[in-house]
C-alpha cells in the first residue's frame, strides 16, 4: 500500500501544510496491525496511516522509504513504539537523527521520553544560558542530546527484544507444563479436522452415495454436494470408503 493509496482517516492539514503521518509495521505475515493502528488513532485520529507488512528476511521496507523521502520540516510521524521504526537500534537512531535534523517531529506512544519534542525543549531551555559563543555551545548540546537519544533508543530496542523473548519462554513453559500434565498438544496424529461444511457434505455422501446404499453415482453425488472430485473422494476416504 503506497502513500497514494493509504487510508486518510481525516484531513491532516495543520496550517502551513504541515502533515501528521503514522507508521505501523509488523514483521511476520501472521501478525496483525490492528493493535498499533488502534493505539495511534486513539491519540491521533487525524493521522494518515501508512501500513507495512515486512519480514526480517527482507531488506526492503517500501512504504517506510516512501514516507521517509516525502516528509518535510514541520511534519509529524507517529509510531506505536520506537521498535516499529526500524529493525534495530542502530538503524533506528540513524533515521531518528536524520529526521530530527530535517525538522520532522517524531512521536513514540510507548516511549514519549524519546519524542523529538523532548529534546527540542531541552535545547531551547539551554539557549537562555549561553553567551556570545552560542554556536559552539549549541553544537555541544545537540551532540549531547543526540547521544542521549541514541542511548534511549538502544534501551527501548533491548526492552522490546526482551519482551519477545519473555513471551516465547512463557509459551514454551506453558506447552511443557501441559505436556507433563498429560494434555494433548496440537491435533492427535491421524485426526481429521471437521468443519461445519465438511460435516454437511459427508452427510450428503452417506445418505445418497451408492457406496453407502444410496441411489446416486459418484458423479451425481458430487454435483448434489457441490464439491470437487478431489474433495469428494477425500471425504469418502475419511468415511471409510477407498476409491477403486
Tell me the DSSP string of 138-195: HHHHHHHHHHHHHHHHHHHHHHHHHHHHHHHHHHHHHHHHHHHTT---SSPTT-----
Edge to edge, the sheet with strand 48-53 lists 7-8, 48-53, 20-26, 76-79, 105-108
**Statement to judge: residues 127 and 28 lie in one domain:** yes
Q: Which residues pair with 77 in a beta bridge?
A: 21, 106
Contacts of residue 19, Cβ cutoff 8 Å, sequence gap at least 6: 12, 13, 48, 71, 75, 76
**Statement to judge: residues 123 and 231 lie in one domain:** no
**Statement to judge: residues 113 and 21 lie in one domain:** yes
Q: Is residue 186 part of a domain?
A: no
Domain at 94, CATH number: 3.40.50.1390
The per-residue pLDDT for 162 is: 72
Q: Is residue 215 part of a domain?
A: yes
**Statement to judge: residues 51 and 156 lie in one domain:** yes
Where a domain ends, among 144, 160, 176?
Answer: 160
List pLDDT tens digits, range 225-243. Answer: 888 888 888 888 888 776 5
The burial class, CB within 10 Å (0-12 / 13-18 / 19+), for 214 is middle
Where a domain ends, among 115, 144, 160?
Answer: 160
* End-to-end alpha carbon distance in the chain: 50
- State the residue range of the domain holding 63: 7-160
Phi/psi region, residue 70 (left: phi>0; alpha: psi -120 to 50; beta: rest), is alpha
Q: Is residue 58 part of a domain?
A: yes
CA 197/CA 194 separation, integer angstroms: 8
Grid look-up 519482551 returns 163
**Statement to judge: residues 143 and 47 lie in one domain:** yes
Where a domain ends, among 134, 160, 186?
Answer: 160
Q: For the whole model, what pTM was predicted?
A: 0.56
List pLDDT tens digits, range 133-189. Answer: 566 566 666 676 787 888 888 887 787 777 667 766 777 777 777 777 776 555 555
Q: Is residue 52 part of a domain?
A: yes
Amino acid at each position: 500500500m503506497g502513500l497514494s493509496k493509504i487510508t486518510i482517516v481525516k484531513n491532516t492539514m495543520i496550517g502551513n501544510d504541515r502533515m501528521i503521518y503514522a507508521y505501523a509495521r509488523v514483521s511476520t505475515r501472521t501478525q496483525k496491525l490492528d493493535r498499533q493502528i488502534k493505539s495511534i488513532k486513539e491519540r491521533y485520529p487525524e493521522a494518515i496511516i501508512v501500513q507495512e507488512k515486512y519480514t526480517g528476511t527482507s531488506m526492503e521496507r517500501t512504504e517506510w522509504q516512501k514516507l521517509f523521502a516525502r516528509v518535510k520540516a514541520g511534519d509529524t510521524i507517529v509510531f506505536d513504539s520506537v521498535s516499529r521504526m526500524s529493525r534495530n537500534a542502530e538503524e533506528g537512531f540513524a533515521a531518528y537523527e536524520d529526521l530530527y535534523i530535517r525538522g520532522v517531529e517524531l512521536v513514540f506512544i510507548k516511549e514519549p521520553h524519546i519524542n523529538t519534542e523532548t529534546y527540542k525543549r531541552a535545547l531551547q531551555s539551554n539557549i537562555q544560558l549561553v553567551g556570545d559563543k552560542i554556536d559552539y555551545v549549541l553544537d555541544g548540546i545537540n551532540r549531547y542530546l543526540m547521544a542521549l537519544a541514541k542511548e534511549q533508543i538502544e534501551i527501548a530496542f533491548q526492552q522490546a527484544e526482551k519482551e519477545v523473548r519473555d513471551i516465547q519462554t512463557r509459551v514454551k513453559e506453558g506447552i511443557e507444563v501441559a505436556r507433563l500434565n498429560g494434555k494433548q498438544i496440537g491435533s492427535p496424529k491421524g485426526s481429521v479436522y471437521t468443519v461445519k461444511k465438511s460435516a454437511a457434505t459427508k452427510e450428503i455422501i452417506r445418505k445418497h452415495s451408492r457406496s453407502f446404499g444410496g441411489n446416486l453415482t459418484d458423479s451425481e453425488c458430487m454435483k448434489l454436494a457441490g464439491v470437487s472430485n478431489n474433495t469428494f473422494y477425500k471425504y469418502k476416504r475419511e468415511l471409510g470408503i477407498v476409491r477403486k
